[in-house]
Amino acid sequence: QDPSIKNNLINSIPSSGISSVLWLNTGLLDMTFKNYGLSLLNVNIFSSVNIPKELTQILFEGITFREPKDISSFDSRGFVYNETKFSFGRKLDFKQLNSPIYAGFGFKYLNGFFSYTEEYYGVITTNEDSISVLSDLDVVYTDPNQIASGFGIDLGIYSRINDKLSAQLSLMNLGSFLKSKQITNWKSVNEINLASSDFSEFLDYNNAQKDSVNDTFSILDTATYVENVSIKLPFSLNLAANYNYSNKLHIKSAVQYIAQKSFMGEITPQISLGVVAFPYKPFSLLGGISFGGINKINFGSGLDIKIGSFCLHLAGSQSGGLFNSAKGFNLSSEFRFLF
């Protein structure tokens, strides 16, 4: 094989390491009546893991004797929470403005779990006849019997500027947080020192013998309880516009900026462009592309079905590229009954 492929792959990895991010949202039981809305089940899942670049170098190149590899950039964090939201909206009466303006707000109650790596230090060292691994891990997580809770606010405004153009501005999850009355702080320190001759013997051990050896690696393994620990959840600033080019084609655009990123890390703003073909027909076609955000680039398409009081939305997208170059995909669906 061409060694340049391996070298290019290693060089393409940022010095901070490889980050893997999962961010999911699902909703159920959303109800509206006149100006009021109630949403009972909206689950948000976020998980992030950072693998140090030094570990990938070890996998592809091995370790040079007497050159320690620092793997302290490892990090893992995530949260799972449900939000129950009450919302209210109404038309604002500004006589000096010809365009109608609508405003709304939502108040959320949040409850769920979170965890994160408080601190980590790790070093891998090899000599001609041995390997040494030092790992010092400090993790914080919510106890299953102490579910974290919190609050958040949504704010939004919408205006129909003329027959063809409309725009909206929103702040979602403003001031949101999760706080637990009691969390667990787990500290684990391990030091592994193995001679080359130990590896073959270790592979022949039974489970009891392996557990016994693993116990000798542990220097510290403690769990303590800490009261009143909280995390700040991200909120987003969203600006969107819709242009009715004709009765057969609508053009949409949006910009999203994620703020309060102390827990999730840096996320670039996302710019989205999309179209809706045949918006007033029972079957509408959707298409769009976005740049920025977690996945850097997304391509998507979908279908809207409207039959009487029944509405069904189906969509799919590829992230990080298109077809074979894509790094992930997303499928979504939504159905509504209008009364």
pLDDT in tens, 177-193: 999 999 999 999 998 88
- DSSP code, position 323: G
Q: 235: which 2 tokens?
A: 């909120």
CA 144 and chain centroid, separation: 22
d(CA 294, CA 222): 35
Q: Provide the pLDDT for residue 23.
A: 83
pLDDT in tens, 77-92: 999 999 999 999 999 8
d(CA 234, CA 294): 13
d(CA 171, CA 105): 9
Higher-pLDDT residue of 46 and 266 is 46
Q: Provide the pLDDT for residue 322.
A: 73
d(CA 255, CA 308): 33
Q: Provide the pLDDT for residue 3.
A: 61
What mean pLDDT, rounded, does the chain reach? Answer: 86
Higher-pLDDT residue of 70 and 265 is 70
Q: Which amino acid is at 316?
A: G
Q: Is the pLDDT of residue 258 over 70?
A: yes
CA-CA distances (angstroms) from residue 217 to 73, 126, 193, 210, 220? 22, 17, 8, 11, 9
Beta bridge partner(s), residue 100: none
The b-or-e profile of 63-90 (16+ CB within 10 A means b, else e) is beeeeebebebbbbbbbbbbbebebebe
Mean pLDDT over 158-185 rounds to 93
The percent of residues in the chain predicted with pLDDT above 70, rounded, is: 90
Mean pLDDT over 123-132 rounds to 83
Q: Provide the pLDDT for residue 8.
A: 66
Are 68 and 57 in contact, with CB atoms under 8 Å apart? no
Q: Provide the pLDDT for residue 339.
A: 66
Q: Provide the pLDDT for residue 17.
A: 73
Query: Which has the closest alpha carbon to 230: 267, 175, 190?
Result: 175
H helix intervals, the chain: 3-12, 53-61, 196-203, 207-217
Q: Is the pLDDT of residue 200 over 90?
A: no
Mean pLDDT over 164-179 rounds to 94
Mean pLDDT over 160-171 rounds to 93
Q: Is the pLDDT of residue 206 over 80?
A: no
Q: Provide the pLDDT for residue 182.
A: 92
Question: What is the end-to-end Cα distance of the chain in Å, rounded?
Answer: 64
Q: Provide the pLDDT for residue 28.
A: 80
Mean pLDDT over 52-67 rounds to 76
Q: 80: which 2 tokens?
A: 């799972």
Locate tokens 């948000």: which residue? 44
d(CA 270, CA 240): 12
Tell me whether residue 163 is exposed, middle or buried, using C-beta atoms within 10 angstroms of its C-beta: 0 to 12, 13 to 18, 19 or more.
Answer: exposed
Q: Is the pLDDT of residue 172 over 70?
A: yes
Q: Is the pLDDT of residue 1 over 60?
A: no
Higher-pLDDT residue of 267 and 111 is 111
Q: Is the pLDDT of residue 10 over 80?
A: no
Span of 99-103, 225-229, 327-331 with lowest mean pLDDT: 327-331
Q: Is the pLDDT of residue 317 over 70?
A: yes
Q: Provide the pLDDT for residue 131.
A: 83
| Residue 127 pLDDT class (50, 70, 90 cuts) | confident
Q: Provide the pLDDT for residue 7.
A: 65
Tell me whether residue 275 is exposed, middle or buried, using C-beta atoms within 10 angstroms of its C-beta: 0 to 12, 13 to 18, 19 or more.
Answer: middle
| Residue 263 φ/ψ, nearest 5 degrees | -85, -40
| Residue 98 pLDDT class (50, 70, 90 cuts) | confident
- Concatenate the DSSP letters of all residues of 192-229 into one string: EEEEHHHHHHHHT--HHHHHHHHHHHEEEEEEEEEEEE
Query: Which has the closest alpha carbon to 279: 311, 247, 252?
Result: 247
d(CA 80, CA 115): 9
d(CA 214, CA 154): 50
d(CA 76, CA 87): 34
